Amino acid sequence: MAADVSSRRWVVWLLLTMALCLSCAEAGRGQVPVKRRLEVQRHLRRLNKRAVRSIKFGENKVASQKRTPPLSQLWHQHGRCPKNTIPIRRTKRKDVLKASSIRKYGRKKHKSIPNPLSVDPDLLSESGHQHAIGYVEGDTYYGAKATINVWEPKIQQANEFSLSQLWILGGSFGEDLNSIEAGWQVSPDLYGDNNTRLFTYWTSDSYQATGCYNLLCSGFIQISSEIAMGATIYPISRYGGSQYDISILVWKDPREGHWWMQFGNDYVLGYWPSFLFSYLADSASMIEWGGEVVNSEPDGEHTSTAMGSGHFPGEGFGKASYFRNIQIVDDSNKLRTPTGVGTFTEQSSCYDVQIGNGGQWGHYFYYGGPGRNSNCP
Pairing of strands 178-186, 267-272: unpaired
Burial class (CB within 10 angstroms; exposed 0-12, middle 13-18, buried 19+) of 77: middle
Exactly one of 160, 181, 288, 346 is catalytic; name it.
181
Distance of CA 205 to the CA centre of its chain: 18
What DSSP character marks residue 121? H
**CA 282/CA 203 separation, integer angstroms:** 15
Are 194 and 186 a contacting pair, CB within 8 Å?
yes
Contacts with 305 (C-beta within 8 Å, 6 or more apart), sequence order: 153, 154, 155, 156, 157, 160, 161, 162, 293, 294, 295, 371
Exactly one of 152, 288, 292, 346 is catalytic; name it.
292
Q: At residue 353, what is the residue type?
A: V
292 given a catalytic annotation: yes
The sign of the CA dihedral 100, 185, 249, 78 is negative
Are 92 and 70 a contacting pair, CB within 8 Å?
no
Q: Which residues are part of the catalytic machinery? A: 181, 292
